Structure formats: C-alpha cells, structure tokens
Structure 1
C-alpha cells in the first residue's frame, strides 16, 4: 500500500499542474479548476492500483476530469460568465500583448458549448490526438472532428481579432 501511495503522490506532483491547467481551460475559473482537479484526483486515488496496472494513467485521469466537469455543469446551476471582447480592442502596450491574447482566448473559450470547449482544449492545449480525445470524451472520432470544426468556426466568429495571432489548423 505504501508503494502505491508513493506512486500516486509522485504522479500528482508531476502531473498536478498540467491537470489544473486543463481544468482551468474547461471551467474558466481558477477556484473551480482547483476543485475540479482535486475532485478528479480523489476519485482516481481509490482506484490507483488498477489504473497504474493498465499502463499510462494520463488518459484515465483526463477522462475522470472531463466526466467530473460534465457532472458539474449538468447537475448544478452555474452562472455563465461572459467577458465582453470589446474590452480588448483598445491599444495595448507590447509587454501586455500576451496578456491581451490570453484574455481573448479565455473569453472566447468561455462562450463555446462545453463539448466544443473540451475538444478544443484537449486538442490544441493538451496536444491529444482525435482518437485520444474521443476516448476521453466517450464519443466517436467523427464526433470529435465535428466538435473541433464547429468550435473553431465559432471561435473565428467570436474572436476575429485572434485570427492573425493564433495558428490553429482545422
């Protein structure tokens, strides 16, 4: 049991920040992201021995993270926060350019449908293949492709100012 605990703790230390980033991109809120990542890791901790026995734990943990997020937005009332994109169109100093792009990306992602947001986050921020995304989301590869296509099209409409900044290939 002690070796399993050490293995899990090492995994959390190594992958915890990455899971928190994924959770943040899914939720759009730092506090909710921390809660989501912690809840997902708590669910995985009880099954850690079986998870590790099956090989790489990352796909399983990402799937738990996503399903926990889906559970939250299905069963709990959440107020959708939309940040107006028109606050970003004023001139920004060079050193703050990256912050402006980051805010625009976050605002645009927050306005996508949850499955589109999840697919885009996993593909372009998590660098997963379409097959890995399909496994994580529990759907077909064709569904992932259509979610990515539709989500990218919506992002182009929601945040046209990002067109020259982000090189996202469909």
Structure 2
C-alpha cells in the first residue's frame, strides 16, 4: 500500500457520494454517473499526491468529471433514454406534480447541447459564479453567460411550444 492510498480512500469515502450526485445531475443517468466518477477517480489515483498539493482536490476532480462528461467518447452512451424514477407513493396529487415537473426538467435539459447543460448544472445545482464555471470549463466568463442565456432561452422556447409548465 502506498502512502497516497489512505488519503485517496478517505477522499473517496468522504466525498464520493457528493461527486456521484454531481455527475448524476450532469448526465441524468445513475449508471453513467457512476462510470464518469469511477473513470475520473481511477485516473486521479495515480497522481493523488500532486492533486492534494493543490488548493482544492475536490474542485480538480469536479473539473475532470465535467470534462469527461463533455468528452466526445461519452456521446454515444449519452443518447440513451433517461427515465425519471417514480416514487413508491404516487397517491397524492402533489407527488404526481413533482414527478411530472422533474421529468419535464430532465427532458428540457437533455435537449440542450452538452456545454450549455454543464453551464446550467454548475450555475444552478452547484451554485457557482460565472468566473468559477469559466475556470472549470476552460472558457471565458462571457462564454459562460452566453451559453447560460442560450440554454435558458431554448428551454423557454420549448416550454412555450409544447405547453410545458404553462397553465391553461
């Protein structure tokens, strides 16, 4: 056992669940999220000493997850249909509305280009400011703002065209 293994194991044990949730929100598929995180962590293990010497190992790993998600190698797996999980108790109208709303949001997000989706996830799920998103994605802040604006505009257009989320 190398000296990095206990630190790496502690990181995975302590932050693995949060990384899986993050990857799941990015890709919308639990199995693909597991693959993303596993693949990234496998690559990180070899150089964990150098990664932990940086300011934030978790930020570095998240960046790698985003980049892997945006990678062309994942495009084929990404095209698989994602179905929303249905809660066990659907008897309440409120529960049904939440399920429908969640499913509609997944459909809207799936309809976006990958970079736009990543920007929205980083902004609204991770609550990151534009400068941090730009650093994670390796682009400028203006690109982040324009990608977010385009994504939200596209989602609004789809919603008005299909009547999703529109009363009446």
User: Would you call these one fold, judging by a TM-score over 0.5?
Assistant: yes
TM-score (normalised: structure 1): 0.80
- Gaps spanning 5+ residues in structure 1: where? 85-91, 165-170
Query: How big is the shift at 1:76?
Result: 5.3
Q: What is the rounded CA distance, in whole Å, between the counterparts of 2:121 and 2:142 in structure 1? A: 17
Q: How many matched pairs?
A: 156
User: Residue 52 of structure 2 aligns with which residue?
Assistant: 52
- The 2-side partners of 1:28 and 1:111 are apart by 12
**1:149 aligned partner:** 149
**Once the 2 structures are TM-superposed, how far is the Cα of residue 9 of structure 1 from its aligned partner?**
1.4
Question: How do 1:14-93 and structure 2 match up within 5 A?
Answer: 14-71=14-71, 73-74=72-73, 77-78=76-77, 80-81=79-80, 93=93
Distance 2:4 2:151 in 1: 40
Instruction: Give yes or no for contact 1:40–1:64 (8 Å, CA) kept in 2.
Output: yes
CA contact (8 A) 1:44 1:64 kept: no
CA contact (8 A) 1:104 1:159 kept: no
User: 1:70-125: per-residue Cα shift (whole Å, max 9, x none)?
Assistant: 22x357534635679xxxxxxx8112332222211111111100000000011101
**Cα gap change, 1:159/1:16 in structure 2, threshold over 3 Å: closer, same or farther?**
farther
What SS does the corresponding residue of 2:76 show, helix, strand or coil? coil
Distance change in 2, residues 1:42/1:163 (3 Å): farther
Alignment of 1:121-160 (within 5 A): 121-159=121-159
1:107-147 Cα shifts (integer Å, max 9, x gaps): 11111000000000111011111111111111111101111
| TM-score, with structure 2 as normaliser | 0.81
Q: Which residue of 2 aligns with 1:98?
A: 98
**Corresponding residue SS for 2:120:** helix
Q: Distance in 2 between matches of 1:129 and 1:55?
A: 18
Q: Quick one: structure 1 residues 149 and 34, their matched pair in 2 at CA, closer, same or farther if it must change by over 3 Å?
A: same
Asked which structure has the greater RCO (Cα within 8 Å, sep 6+), the reply is 1
